[in-house]
Chains A and B, each alone.
Chain A
Amino acid sequence: MLTEAEAGRYARQIPLLGIEGQERLKGSGVLIAGAGGLGSASSCYLAAAGVGHIRIVDSDSVDLSNLNRQILHRVPGVRKAVSAEEALRSLNPMIEVEGVDLCISESSIDDLVDGIDIVVDAMDSFEARYILNSAALEHGLPMVHGAVSGFDGQVTTIIPGRTACLRCVFPRPPPRDAPPVVGATCGIIGSIQAMEAIKLLTGLGEPLANRLLIWDGRCAQMDEISIERNERCPDCGL
C-alpha cells in the first residue's frame, strides 16, 4: 500500500506503472552488484523509481579516477559501499538501502541474493559475473547484464530457464582489463539496466530476453543480436 507521500513522489510515473506496478516496486528487492559506473547509474534510477529495497555491494574504496563516471561518489578514499548507501538514501529516503562492503565470491553470493528479486550485473570482470550468473540461475532470479568500454556498451536480460545465460553468450572470460570509459556510456547502459529491472518487476513491456543490445556511442547507434541458449552450457545447459 502506498502512502500519500509516496503517491505524490511517484505521481509522474504511476500513470505508466499503475498503482499496482508502483506497489510492486515498493515490495521488491534489487541487488546491484558493483557500485562503479554502471552501479551508479542503475542504482540512482532504481532508487528514485521507488524500488523498496536496494542492496548495493562493492569492496573497493573510491579512487580519484573513478569520479568521471561513478556519480554515487564524491570523496576519494571513502568506502564505496558507504558512499553509495549515503547517496541513495539521500536521493530517496522512502526506500531501504543497504550498502554492503563485501567481495562477491562463491562463498558470499548466496547471502547477497537472499531476499532479492532481480540482480543487476554492474561488475568489472567476467570471473565475478560468472559467479553472479550461476547464483542467479540457481536461485531462479532474473539478471540484467551490462558492460561498458570507451564509448561502447552492451546489455541483455537473462531469465532463468527462458533465455541464454551469460555463459551461453560469453563462454570464456576475456583477459582482465581496466578500459578507459566515457562516463556518459555508463549512464546510458546503467539506465537501460534500470529500465529492464523496472519492466521485469512490474511486468510491463518486453525485456531484452535473448537479445544482446550493443551501443556504439561514437556513431550514436544501437544494434541488437539475437542470442540463443546453448544446451551444453556448463551453467544453464539442459
Chain B
Amino acid sequence: MQILLRSFGNLRRIIGSELHLEMCEGSLLRDLLLSLPGHERLLDGLKIRDDVYVLVNGRSVTDINTALKDGDEIAIVPAIIGG
C-alpha cells in the first residue's frame, strides 16, 4: 500500500520533506516510524516523543499501533512552543 509522509521544521532535514512509501498490508504506524532515518528523534521507546506530533489524515495520533491503510497521509510535526 502507498503512504504519503510529510515532515516539517527541523525534522524534515532528517526525514525528508515528502516521501512516497510502499508499505506491506497490515503495517502499523510504528512500522513506518521505525523505518525512517532518525527515528530515535521521533520515538521514546515504543511511544511517540512528547515533542513530536503525528497526524494521520489530519487527525492527531498518539498510539503507534494505529493501523495504516492505502492512501493514508501522515504528517510529522515537531513541537513549536515559543511565543
Q: What is the interface size of chain B, counting residues whose CB is below 8 A from a CB of the partner?
A: 22
Query: Which A-chain residue is minimally distant from B83 (CB atoms)?
Result: A124
Are B51 and A174 interface neighbours, CB within 8 A?
yes
Whether, in the assembled complex, A142 has its beta carbon less than 8 Å from a beta carbon of chain B, the answer is no
Q: Please, which residues of chain B bring their CB within 8 A of the CB of A176? A: 81
Whether, in the assembled complex, B55 has its beta carbon less than 8 Å from a beta carbon of chain A, the answer is yes
Are A214 and B51 interface neighbours, CB within 8 A?
no
Which residue of the partner chain, among A39, A150, A170, contacts B83 with CB atoms under 8 Å? Answer: A39
Whether, in the assembled complex, A184 has its beta carbon less than 8 Å from a beta carbon of chain B, the answer is no
Are A174 and B81 interface neighbours, CB within 8 A?
yes
- A179 CA to B80 CA in the complex, in Å? 9
Dominant SS among interface residues on chain B: mixed
Whether, in the assembled complex, A223 has its beta carbon less than 8 Å from a beta carbon of chain B, the answer is yes
Are B8 and A216 interface neighbours, CB within 8 A?
yes
Are A175 and B55 interface neighbours, CB within 8 A?
no
Q: Please, which residues of chain B bring their CB within 8 A of the CB of A39? A: 83
Which residue of the partner chain, among A34, A154, A171, A175, contacts B80 with CB atoms under 8 Å? Answer: A154
- A168 CA to B53 CA in the complex, in Å? 11
Which residue of the partner chain, among B10, B59, B81, contacts A124 with CB atoms under 8 Å? Answer: B81
Are B81 and A147 interface neighbours, CB within 8 A?
yes
Chain B contacts with A in 49-83, Cβ cutoff 8 A: 50-51, 53, 55, 57-60, 62, 75, 77-83
Q: Which residues of B contact A (CB under 8 A)?
A: 6, 8-10, 12, 50-51, 53, 55, 57-60, 62, 75, 77-83
A-B contact pairs, 29 of them (CB 8 A): A38-B83, A39-B83, A122-B83, A123-B83, A124-B82, A124-B83, A147-B80, A147-B82, A148-B80, A152-B9, A152-B80, A154-B80, A168-B60, A171-B60, A172-B50, A174-B81, A175-B50, A175-B79, A177-B81, A177-B82, A179-B81, A210-B58, A216-B9, A223-B6, A225-B55, A227-B58, A227-B59, A230-B59, A230-B60
